Amino acid sequence: MKILVTGAQGQLGQDVIRIFKQKGHLVLGYTRQELDVTNLQQCESVIYSQQPDAIIHCAAYTAVDAAETDEDGAYLVNAVGSRNIAVAAEKVGAKVCYISTDYVFNGNSSTAYREYDNTDPQTVYGKSKRAGEHLVQTLSSKYYIVRTSWVYGAHGNNFVKTMLKLGAEKPSLQVVHDQVGSPTYTVDLAYFLEELVQTEYYGIYHASNSESCSWYEFAQAIFEEAGLKPELLPCTTDQFPRPAPRPSNSVMEHLSIRTNGLRDLRPWRDALKEFIEVNKIR
């Protein structure tokens, strides 16, 4: 397949490009400088000239706290940018795979969120990503919306890298224990996307590494896998106030993966172990 990737220099985008190429696809990666998704004419020009079979839309405004005071910036990229990609893709008959987030839910559920549960985002970031979902759903006839959570990988900044750095430098750390979710390794997510876009199983998917943990438990596992031994202390969300509220429950049920007969992502602990081994983080 001919695959166009937006956000090519991002944490997920880089692994998507590498893995799709490894699987034999012709991959066209576009950075923010090469393809400004907020410019409809540019999106139409690039997508029309390349005629991709599918677009993996990784480009996004992901600064959760900054979005609270930059509402226009978040909506411009996450909503308008996604509309532009969907409109341009529809003109050439390309599939659109939009990467979304657990933040489209309110985070207060006592059970895992299913794909077609009602959304109720509580942050500007979450609202702008939900707006992007809605625009893709209404403007594209061949779409996949893939919600993921707690993403980490070899590229960019993320919780795992931060914990490894702090764990090596500080004797003691506090990590919140009252927020639960499912970590997602970019490599595993990219393999899932590669399998998904070859199908016509359109719709909404929840894709994270399977099983769940709290941030505190995630940090514990990171230190165990890396052989680090700082003192790790649990704390509450209230002790670390942030501009944007964090969901207390980010766990998402993988109902669509199961009902469409697709391969689920492996348990998060197995993925973390491989990430640390592969990247020689000790």
Q: What is the pLDDT of residue 281?
A: 53
> Could you give the CA distance from residue 86 to residue 63 in angstroms, rounded to a whole number?
23
Range of the domain at 150: 2-158+184-209+252-265
Q: Is 233 a member of any domain?
A: no
Among 30, 26, 275, 23, CA closest to 155:
275
pLDDT of residue 279: 83
- Which residue in 24, 21, 29, 25 sits closest to 4, CA to CA? 29
Q: What is the pLDDT of residue 130?
A: 98
CATH of the domain at 15: 3.40.50.720
Residues 258, 167: Cα–Cα separation, whole Å = 37
116 part of the active site: no
* Ramachandran angles phi, psi of 193, nearest 5°: -60, -40
* Mean pLDDT value across residues 54-77: 97
Percent of the chain with pLDDT over 90: 96
Distance CA 56, CA 191 (A): 12
180-181 and 213-214 beta bridge pairing = antiparallel
- How long is the chain? 282
Q: What is the pTM of this model?
A: 0.96
Please give the Cα distance from 33 to 7 (Å, whole number).
10
DSSP 179: -
For the chain, the domain total comes to 1
Look at residue 18 and tell me if it is in a domain: yes
Mean pLDDT computed over every residue of the chain: 96
Which of 61, 75, 113, 125 is an active site residue? 125
Residue 218 lies in a domain: no
- Does 175 fall in a domain? no
CA distance 158 to 155: 9
What would the pLDDT profile of 93-130 be if each residue is shown by its tens digit? 999 999 999 999 999 999 999 999 999 999 999 999 99
